[in-house]
Structure 1
């Protein structure tokens, strides 16, 4: 019995060592804690399903929290590049825009975003008179104002497309479909890039993205698009191909845009709020532009 127990302990330790070694290789390759990232992803997925399929109004609250964190992360990241965007009005504008978009649709969305840009601009202009600006050339008030408008356009405007879409009759299924497709593209890119990635896709912007990963993203997004079109959206298979290809394009562009922003700011992640993922905005990079694409698709075919 003692010999058997010792043998089991040795096997357990050997298996644990192999698992730890595999984890270190994956972390060295991707820079992420894979197990923790999966657990957080599952938790977010459960919250998303609950908010979309049980009580749609819960999705509005879910979107408020995510938009607030994502906006705050981007503002803080810009400050690392010596770009001063006021955080209080930026986050407040995002929080207000979500329920306005939910209850008043696309018209309310546009008005809320434009109002947020005006609020952030006036706040920054008011604060500029109280402090002397001693920054280097090119890092002045004009850049701050442009960056403030960019935050509202990039995060708030794109994020509220999901709210407008979800509020529409049957729109929650389209929201779920585009998010699943975008996640499938991300997962395919991650898995194929990890296993087969050799040829960099955009080495200057994002060195870890490969053409092999893009091929995996294309395959998974097209398959997901067809399945979701047939069994969730009540659309023909060819629509699924178009939908999957459109989400693939928007998700890839969104991923590269955020990588370019982080590269210019000299940071790896927008924040460390989500271990294994980075920040909220790091998880939304492919979702944000895809929301606008899904809204257009719903407006035409939904």
Structure 2
């Protein structure tokens, strides 16, 4: 399993880097990241709808809402053009918050039109709202890392998220299998141990600090890094959030009686199983970049 994790990382990370380099070359509107976010969201809707099949969420409505939400999040960046949007988090997330509200109204209104009998509607409303939030709003918040530190440092921030969560995932698995005895959450994820979690956070902290130290000059010669202790804390916080994201996605799978969200990749399961950590940790990283002097 460790070999598979390393192999998949060796294939996916260079591919992602290539896309990000091309996207950065195309300017701050980030068109490739937009298409990638839409593609990931549509796949996530399908997998979430499969997990929540008993609640009968509408895949079509959920896809329309999620795509609309992500598009609304991108509109200010498209309109800003090469000048780039203000780094203000409230300004950047305002359109997606408004779109989320409108989508919620649509979801509620549809229940009124299809109502025939009182059973099942609350479960369906909850499932569709969860899909909108998980596959829509979390992606909007995570992709906002592309702009939170400015147009030049966007992929430095996104890279720190990927490094923190994937370094933690690999270290947690390796050290947990080798030395772990006490289970972290035996009913949710029997394979995770407390020892693995500790080493995952340590690896996330060191790898993220190393990434920021090494990569920042490549993105901007004028950028000044925050103190080492702050970089280490940032990596640890994002790594911890990545562990929480994995456990939270396990709640959905266990509630649905499934081991994996889907059968997209052998040994990994579905797309949800692959990106659960960075998707949950993304908003945490966003808030850190917004309010902490990680890079000045």
When the two structures are superposed, what TM-score results if normalisation uses the length of structure 2? Answer: 0.81
Q: d(CA) in 2 for partners of 1:51 and 1:97?
A: 23
C-alpha distance after superposition, 1:66-95 (max 9, x if no partner): 11101221111101xx11211111122222
Partner in structure 1 of residue 197 of structure 2: 214
Q: d(CA) in 1 for partners of 2:115 and 2:159?
A: 43
1:124 shift after superposition: 4.0
Determine which of 81, 85, 93 is the counterpart of 1:106: 93
Partner in structure 2 of residue 88 of structure 1: 60
Say how many residue pairs are matched.
Answer: 261
Which piece of structure 1 moves more, 96-105 or 140-149? 96-105
1:199 shift after superposition: 1.4
1:133 shift after superposition: 7.0
Partner in structure 2 of residue 54 of structure 1: 22
1:37 shift after superposition: 5.0
Partner in structure 2 of residue 6 of structure 1: none
Residues 295, 122 of structure 1: alpha-carbon distance in 2 compared, 3 angstrom cutoff: same
Residues 244, 37 of structure 1: alpha-carbon distance in 2 compared, 3 angstrom cutoff: closer
Gaps of 5+ in 1: 1-25, 27-33, 135-139
Q: d(CA) in 2 for partners of 1:180 and 1:290?
A: 12
DSSP-derived class of the 1:119 partner: helix
C-alpha distance after superposition, 1:18-42 (max 9, x if no partner): xxxxxxxx5xxxxxxx655544443
Query: Are residues 1:183 and 2:166 paired?
Result: yes
1:235 shift after superposition: 2.8
Partner in structure 2 of residue 126 of structure 1: 113
C-alpha distance after superposition, 1:221-250 (max 9, x if no partner): 111122123233433211211211211221
User: Any conservation in 2 of the 1:229–1:239 contact (CA below 8 Å)?
Assistant: no
Residues 218, 165 of structure 1: alpha-carbon distance in 2 compared, 3 angstrom cutoff: closer
Which protein shows a greater Rg?
A: 1
Q: d(CA) in 2 for partners of 1:237 and 1:117?
A: 43
Partner in structure 1 of residue 79 of structure 2: none
Query: Are residues 1:237 and 2:228 paired?
Result: yes
Residues 91, 103 of structure 1: alpha-carbon distance in 2 compared, 3 angstrom cutoff: same
Determine which of 170, 175, 186 is the counterpart of 1:192: 175
When the two structures are superposed, what TM-score results if normalisation uses the length of structure 1? Answer: 0.79
DSSP-derived class of the 2:181 partner: coil
> Cα RMSD over matched residues?
2.1
